[in-house]
Amino acid sequence: MALDSKTEFKYIGTRPDRPDGMDKVTGKARYGADAYAPGMLHGAVVRSPHAHAKIVKIDASKALAMKGVKAVVTRADFATDLEGEDWDLLENTIAGEKTLYDGHAVAAVAATSALIAKDAAKLVEVEYEILPCVTDVDAAMADGAPVIRDGAADHSVPEGLHPNVVRYTEFGRGDVEAGFAAADLVVERDFKTEAVHQGYIEPHACLANLGADGKGELWCCTQGHWFVRRMCTALLGLETTQLRVTASEIGGGFGGKTTVFIDPIALALSRAAGKPVKLVMSRSEVLKASGPTSSASMNVKMGMTKDGKLTAATAVFRMQGGAFPGAPMDMTTMLAFSCYDLDNVHHEGFDVMTNRPKQAAYRAPGAPMGAFAVESVMDELCQGLGLDPIDARLTNAVKEGTKSSFGPRYKAVGLIETLEAAKAHPHYSAPLAENTGRGIASGYWMNWGGETSTSLAIGEDGTVQVGVGTPDIGGSRASMALMAAETLGIPYENVRVDVVDTASLGVNEPSHGSRATYASGLAVIESAREAITKLSKRAADKWGIDAEAVEWRDGAAHPSGPNAGDFTPLSIADIAGEMGSTGGPITGHHDASPTGFGGSFGTHIVDVHVDPDTGKSTVVRYTVVQDAGKAIHPSYVEGQFQGGAAQGIGWALNEEYIYDDDGRLQNDVFLDYRIPVASDLPMIDTVIVEVPNPGHPYGVRGVGETGITPPLPAVACAISHAIGHRMTRLPISPPRVLRAIQGKGIS
Amino acid sequence: MVEVNLWSGLRRFADGQEAVEVEAKTVAEVLQKLVEAHPGLDPVIKAGVSVAVDGEIVQRALNHPVQPDSEVFLLQQFRGG
């Protein structure tokens, strides 16, 4: 769908109150754990304490004998004919022959109270035969490493690699050796990042009600309830449409709620007990057994001439995705050099299994790790050649028509505009205090369209209700209302937007890939246009003229000109008030898999102060510059920019999964797994750049994910400049900084 | 004929070719003709790929039109968060 010629907007670009704000600040908003049903039971999950073990026997007799216990389920209660990704999903949901990581579900109990369920879970006796384990990506690829699952590798893996390498990719173009030979400076570095969790505040929670007839309902916190429906029905052997899934309000997802963990278990318990079952994860369960992102081991080599032109670049990314295929090495490789115009480039990626939980998507999955390595080397090249880091990026920046490092040519994109805006920002030229360094980095996320279905209905008073299928994880209800209001020409306050259940619309992909405002927004605009066509027809019929002679503007039907006749305009309320007697309800609907999504580039500036005595790093100033295409609700866009930066800062400075030699997670609560809190962060300044996306009527680009890509390298470069030592391993925790300052290495 | 660019890891399934020419008017036909010409690509395509047509990345829009002079790239499957 092409960009409209419209450049003046009445509602888009304004900052009205968010429709969900009152409920959220008064505690009325209903999250996953707020669902209740008559006769409801509570579930608890039995989890493996071993990282890798054969399940010899499960004896639930003592648990079942406990008063109040109504059901126990194991793998035997799920579908048996699955293969491929569905089999992986089931194996991760509940273990079959082996447990594959610390916290892997083995069985589950339903009882009349949460306390009884927890006590009963402790009575389920599981006999294990402990197997050797591996949690580090490099160790998992080495000769002699324990094999997680033989035969898991797909067609892409060349012979001779360890069985834990399950997918492999390699691509590029040009002559990288000739390119490096033409460079005045070549820098090559190894990098490592740790696995980090999405850190959503709301744990996974659901209420399941499934009958023996295979019909059921599920209420859950999710980014995509159609995905939940498809996955759950596959794992339980049900017909897809017999399960109705309703998404609750969501307390953060960031990609981690695009899959299922406990929902199929709650449904299986409900089917076994014949009653509704509520299941809520503890924080420890969330950290142990829901998907963090991958950890990565990387090598990047880049060459540059003394005037700042990149001559060649290569990268190798080894990424572990837990005990299943799926580490996002494909996105890492495709996006690593996405900012730069390169004639000679080569990428290699390895997807490696370890005894860790199955990785899940996390905001721009795979991109931040690659950006950390590439932008750090870029920074070192600029430092070595005495070049301004923004000027050097401008020399190599991609623009419309540039052939991307992964192949296709870019359409209109805004990297150069973000670099120019960053250079012009007062932050970039502000003086630095002692022991403080400044980091610059750019990043990209290509965004996504996906299956989308929306509906819009006119109320009898001319107000409008909109139904969308993409859960609101970042303000999309306000954005949808603004786009509907703009298209219909009615006030924002006259539009109500609801995220409706799976029985109410066609299939919708989740709110992932930065697609909700783009794809659902585009469908809402088209739904509104369809409703306008119907409204105009009602006016034409009333006036006795052709529908083509009616023009819709400012929320009313007007004769399109003197030849159409002299009629008093009919407002949307006028037409809606009579619609029952002029042809019935007036609605609009749109279904699509739009492909005109436009990627978003961002450039970040950060100042970090390092205490030379303790190694503690403090972010003292931060500025995000990012291309939004067109900011529908600028406050929400700024919130996405700030959220991405905050999460990236946590990833860079503190967050990590720490396993002992037996593969047991050592920091499974927020006291030990340290996400940044408000007091750790400065006010994050934002600059919205608007280079319209040619594939959306109003120019929208998704903005949710790009913002987490530059912070890792930007923070690392700032610290490197502050202490005079290149930091190549995350998190850059105080002990690691202190070791670097003291010349003791950074491992 | 439409020229389809393969990522280098796929070239071993396509007789070492960097680009393969197929007769096709839609993305679905591109994928079908690729497999007919090079059956080794079948598991790759079944596992999921993205197709870029003139800079637009198409994953599920199999009916998306392709012109003889379109720039077509086979890409690894997109995964978002």
Residue B13: CATH number of its domain = 3.10.20.30
Residues A443 and A501 in one domain: no
Which residue, A574, A592, A610, sits at the end of a domain?
A592
Residues A531 and A558 in one domain: yes
Give yes or no for a contact between A716 and A732, defined as CB atoms under 8 angstroms apart: yes
Find the range with the poorest average confidence among A435-444, A619-628, A706-715, B63-72: B63-72
Confidence of residue B29 (pLDDT cuts 50, 70, 90): very high
Model pLDDT, residue B46: 87
Mean pLDDT over each residue of chain A, to the nearest integer:
97
Model pLDDT, residue B47: 83
Name the CA radius of gyration of chain A, rounded: 27
Of B44, B60, B75, the CB nearest to A406: B75
| Residue A535: HSE in the Cβ half-sphere, 13 Å Cα cutoff | 34
User: Does residue A186 form part of some domain?
Assistant: no
User: Does residue A47 form part of some domain?
Assistant: no
User: Does residue A618 form part of some domain?
Assistant: yes
Mutate to test the interface with B, among A175, A316, A330 (most CBs of B within 10 A): A330
Confidence of residue B79 (pLDDT cuts 50, 70, 90): confident
Model pLDDT, residue A203: 98
Residues A583 and A686 in one domain: no
Model pLDDT, residue A561: 86
Residues A607 and A658 in one domain: yes
Residues A572 and A480 in one domain: yes
Which residues on A lie below 8 Å from B9 (Cβ)?
A: 156, 168-171
User: Does residue B70 form part of some domain?
Assistant: yes
Residue of A nearest to B78 (CA): A331
Which residues on B lie below 8 Å from A170 (Cβ)?
A: 7-9
Domain membership of residue B31 as a residue range: 2-76
pLDDT digits (tens, 9 = 90+) for A581-634: 999 999 999 999 999 999 999 999 999 999 999 999 999 999 999 999 999 999
Closest CA to A145 of A169, A168, A167, A165: A165
Which residues on A lie below 8 Å from B50 (Cβ)?
A: none
What's the structural domain count of chain B? 1
Say yes or no: B38 contacts chain A, CB-CB below 8 A: no
Model pLDDT, residue A470: 98
Model pLDDT, residue B61: 78
- Above 90 in pLDDT, residue A1? no
CA distance to partner chain B, nearest, from residue A407 (Å): 7
Contact B76 A330 (CB under 8 A): yes
Alpha-carbon span A340 to A389, nearest angstrom: 13
Confidence of residue B62 (pLDDT cuts 50, 70, 90): confident
Model pLDDT, residue A594: 92
For the record, the structure tokens of A139 come out as 């160790």
Model pLDDT, residue A5: 74
CA distance to partner chain B, nearest, from residue A416 (Å): 19
pLDDT digits (tens, 9 = 90+) for A9-18: 999 999 999 9
pLDDT digits (tens, 9 = 90+) for A672-702: 999 999 999 999 999 999 999 999 999 999 9
Alpha-carbon span A301 to A344, nearest angstrom: 12
User: Does residue A661 form part of some domain?
Assistant: yes
Residues A585 and A614 in one domain: no
Residue of B nearest to A198 (CA): B81
- Between B81 and A380, where is the model more confident? A380
Closest CA to B41 of B52, B57, B30: B30
Residue of B nearest to A292 (CA): B81
Residue of B nearest to A448 (CA): B80
CA distance to partner chain B, nearest, from residue A411 (Å): 6
User: Does residue B16 form part of some domain?
Assistant: yes
When pLDDT is averaged across residues A237-258 and rounded to a whole number, the result is 97
Which residues on A lie below 8 Å from B60 (Cβ)?
A: 450-451, 593
Alpha-carbon span A290 to A743, nearest angstrom: 38
Tell me if residue A401 falls in helix, strand or coil. Answer: coil
Residue type present at position A140: A
| DSSP designation for A409 | B
List all residues 6 or more positions away from A541 whose beta carbon is below 8 Å from its beta carbon.
A582, A583
Residues A491 and A605 in one domain: no
Model pLDDT, residue B78: 80
List all residues 6 or more positions away from A50 whose beta carbon is below 8 Å from its beta carbon.
A99, A102, A128, A130, A133, A662, A663
Which residue, A592, A623, A645, sits at the end of a domain?
A592
Mutate to test the interface with B, among A595, A696, A706 (most CBs of B within 10 A): A595
Model pLDDT, residue A746: 63
Which residues on B lie below 8 Å from A154 (Cβ)?
A: 43, 47
For the record, the structure tokens of A325 come out as 């295929």
User: Does residue B25 form part of some domain?
Assistant: yes
User: Does residue A277 form part of some domain?
Assistant: no
Tell me the residue ranges of DSSP E strands in A27-95: 41-47, 53-59, 69-73
pLDDT digits (tens, 9 = 90+) for A347-357: 999 999 999 99
User: Does residue B31 form part of some domain?
Assistant: yes
Residues A487 and A555 in one domain: yes
User: Does residue A637 form part of some domain?
Assistant: yes
Closest CA to A445 of A686, A694, A636, A629: A629
Name the CA radius of gyration of chain B, rounded: 11
Contact A408 B78 (CB under 8 A): no
CA distance to partner chain B, nearest, from residue A78 (Å): 24
Contact A154 B9 (CB under 8 A): no
CA distance to partner chain A, nearest, from residue B39 (Å): 13
Residue of B nearest to A447 (CA): B80
Which residues on B lie below 8 Å from A333 (Cβ)?
A: 76
Residues A440 and A455 in one domain: no
Which residues on A lie below 8 Å from B52 (Cβ)?
A: 407-408
Alpha-carbon span B78 to B81, nearest angstrom: 10
Of B8, B47, B61, the CB nearest to A593: B61
Q: Cα angle at A336 between A619 and A673, to 5 degrees?
A: 40
| Residue A360: HSE in the Cβ half-sphere, 13 Å Cα cutoff | 26
Query: What percentage of chain A reaches a pLDDT higher than 90?
Result: 97
Alpha-carbon span A645 to A721, nearest angstrom: 20
Chains A & B: contacts with CB separation below 8 Å: 92
User: Does residue A146 form part of some domain?
Assistant: no
Say yes or no: B60 contacts chain A, CB-CB below 8 A: yes
- Above 70 in pLDDT, residue A747? no
pLDDT digits (tens, 9 = 90+) for A62-120: 999 999 999 999 999 999 999 999 999 999 999 999 999 999 999 999 999 999 999 99
CA distance to partner chain A, nearest, from residue B51 (Å): 10
Give yes or no for a contact between A598 and A694, defined as CB atoms under 8 angstroms apart: yes
Model pLDDT, residue A324: 97
pLDDT digits (tens, 9 = 90+) for A645-670: 999 999 999 999 999 999 999 999 99
CA distance to partner chain A, nearest, from residue B59 (Å): 8
Domain membership of residue A537 as a residue range: 21-28+449-592
Give yes or no for a contact between A411 and A402, defined as CB atoms under 8 angstroms apart: no
Closest CA to A444 of A522, A331, A584, A595: A331
Contact A362 B81 (CB under 8 A): yes
Please give the backbone phi and psi of residue A537, each rounded to the nearest 5 degrees, phi first.
-65, -40
Tell me the residue ranges of DSSP E strands in A436-507: 436-445, 452-458, 464-468, 495-499
Contact B9 A406 (CB under 8 A): no
Which residues on B lie below 8 Å from A168 (Cβ)?
A: 9
Which residue, A592, A614, A643, sits at the end of a domain?
A592
Instruction: Compute the Cα dihedral for A596, A513, A350, B48 and give only its sign.
Output: negative
Model pLDDT, residue A3: 80
Closest CA to A419 of A600, A598, A602, A599: A602
Residue A544 CB neighbours (<10 A)? 8
Residues A583 and A626 in one domain: no
Give yes or no for a contact between A522 and A697, defined as CB atoms under 8 angstroms apart: yes
CATH code, domain with A735 = 3.30.365.10
- Above 90 in pLDDT, residue A562? no
Find residues 12-31 of chain B whose CB sits inside 8 Å of chain A: 13
Peptide bond into A731 cis (omega under 30): yes
Supply the DSSP string of A323-377, one letter for each residue.
SSS--THHHHHHHTTTTB--SSEEEEEEEE--SSPPP---SSTTHHHHHHHHHHH
When pLDDT is averaged across residues A398-427 and rounded to a whole number, the result is 97
Alpha-carbon span A269 to A266, nearest angstrom: 5
Closest CA to A524 of A496, A557, A555: A496
Residues A727 and A696 in one domain: yes
Please give the backbone phi and psi of residue A451, each rounded to the nearest 5 degrees, phi first.
-60, 130
| DSSP designation for A518 | I
CA distance to partner chain B, nearest, from residue A374 (Å): 20
Instruction: Compute the Cα dihedral for A383, A389, A395, A399 and give only its sign.
Output: positive
Give yes or no for a contact between A390 and A423, defined as CB atoms under 8 angstroms apart: yes
What's the structural domain count of chain A? 2
